Amino acid sequence: MTHAVKPITLTKVSPTGTALVNDVLALEEPLAIRLVSGRGSDQVEQDVSVTMRTPGNDAALAAGFLFTEGIIESPDQVEEIRGDDRHQHDQGVTVFLKPGVSVDSKRLQRNFYTTSSCGVCGKSSVDAIRMACKPVKAEDFKIQASVIQSLPQHLRVQQNIFEQTGGLHAAALFDGAGNLIVLQEDVGRHNALDKVIGEKFLRNEIPISNQILMLSGRISFELVQKAAMAYIPVIAAIGAPSSLAVALATEMNITLLGFVRGEQFNMYTHGKRIYI
């Protein structure tokens, strides 16, 4: 039994009556992300955010969050990422920057409580997020339509915790041939993507210019923003995009595909990268 689920006993109702059954729930717990810069008397520790997430891959989640928020730019800036449990009611992860590395204090002032469903809530403005991104290039990256059509099944097969609980989002990267590169699950769709991008960030594998991001749910503005920060050229999802997600993908030169189900999908932006 994975640490990301919690066993429960529930009452199941069916046409034949009721029965007590054992089941599992996707685990959701708070994670405090902290940042430490300087040394000795000049050391500064700052609480950056609290996010409700599924435990696991917390270092990647913290790194991905700090990168996609524009607070850090390179894994070379990070000396250590350390988990801790100093507070009774939340777990934490602290990112220690190397000596001499400073961060934009204005970005750190945008501290907010991040729910598992909406990471963008509380940010100062949509424009501030948009300004942190640059258009994706990757003009030579082409994908056959049949590869896109195969991704939902590949994603579902790899969603181990979803199979147990039915309650998690997934984000995954595939190469142009449809081979899985990395997959993460979380109760928060933005956390799942931060974990994916954070894993690539810590490996110093950004920009991600030749891979496809596949999402298990809908496409929000914030998910497009995070993908743009990592220079991901193609986003595909089982669900629908929001109007703001389409607008940002258009600006960022990102191919946006929704309702990827069976042999069909919708192309919303920059379909030049897809061929039949």
CATH of the domain at 246: 3.40.140.10
Split at pLDDT 50, 70, 90, the class of 109 is: low
In a domain, 188, yes or no: yes
Do 115 and 165 sit in the same domain of this protein? Answer: no
Do 79 and 148 sit in the same domain of this protein? Answer: no
In a domain, 6, yes or no: no
Do 125 and 223 sit in the same domain of this protein? Answer: no
Do 150 and 127 sit in the same domain of this protein? Answer: no
Q: How many domains does the chain have?
A: 2
Do 260 and 173 sit in the same domain of this protein? Answer: yes
Domain at 101, CATH number? 3.10.20.10
pLDDT of residue 108: 65
In a domain, 8, yes or no: no
pLDDT of residue 213: 97
pLDDT of residue 145: 94
Express each pLDDT in 190-236 by its tens digit: 999 999 999 999 999 999 999 999 999 899 998 999 999 999 999 99
pLDDT of residue 116: 45
CA–CA gap between residue 7 and residue 164 (Å, rounded): 10
Is residue 104 within 8 A of residue 41, CB to CB? The reply is no
Which of 180, 134, 29 has its CA nearest to residue 92? 29
Do 255 and 213 sit in the same domain of this protein? Answer: yes
272, pLDDT greater than 90: yes
Is residue 232 within 8 A of residue 211, CB to CB? The reply is yes
243, pLDDT greater than 80: yes
Residue range(s) defining the domain that contains residue 114: 29-131
Do 84 and 52 sit in the same domain of this protein? Answer: yes
33, pLDDT greater than 60: yes
Express each pLDDT in 46-81 by its tens digit: 888 888 888 889 999 999 999 998 889 999 999 999
Cα distances (angstroms) measured from residue 120 to each of 69, 100, 138, 212, 250: 10, 30, 27, 23, 19
Do 173 and 241 sit in the same domain of this protein? Answer: yes
Express each pLDDT in 148-176 by its tens digit: 999 998 888 877 654 454 568 899 999 99
Lowest-confidence pick of 119-133, 196-210, 230-244: 119-133
11, pLDDT greater than 80: no
Do 147 and 103 sit in the same domain of this protein? Answer: no
Do 116 and 159 sit in the same domain of this protein? Answer: no
Q: Which residues contact 125 (CB under 8 A, 6 or more apart)?
A: none
Q: What is the mean pLDDT of the chain?
A: 84
Tokens, residue 130: 């948009």
Do 229 and 173 sit in the same domain of this protein? Answer: yes
% of the chain residues with pLDDT over 70: 83
In a domain, 201, yes or no: yes
How many CB atoms sit inside 10 A of residue 47's CB? 13
Do 149 and 126 sit in the same domain of this protein? Answer: no
Higher pLDDT, 84 or 121: 84
276, pLDDT greater than 90: no
Higher pLDDT, 114 or 94: 94
Cα distances (angstroms) measured from residue 49 to each of 33, 177, 197, 252: 5, 37, 18, 26
pLDDT of residue 194: 96
pLDDT of residue 165: 47
Is residue 268 within 8 A of residue 258, CB to CB? The reply is yes
Is residue 93 within 8 A of residue 58, CB to CB? The reply is yes
Q: Which residues contact 232 (CB under 8 A, 6 or more apart)?
A: 136, 173, 208, 209, 211, 212, 213, 254
Active site amino acids: 118
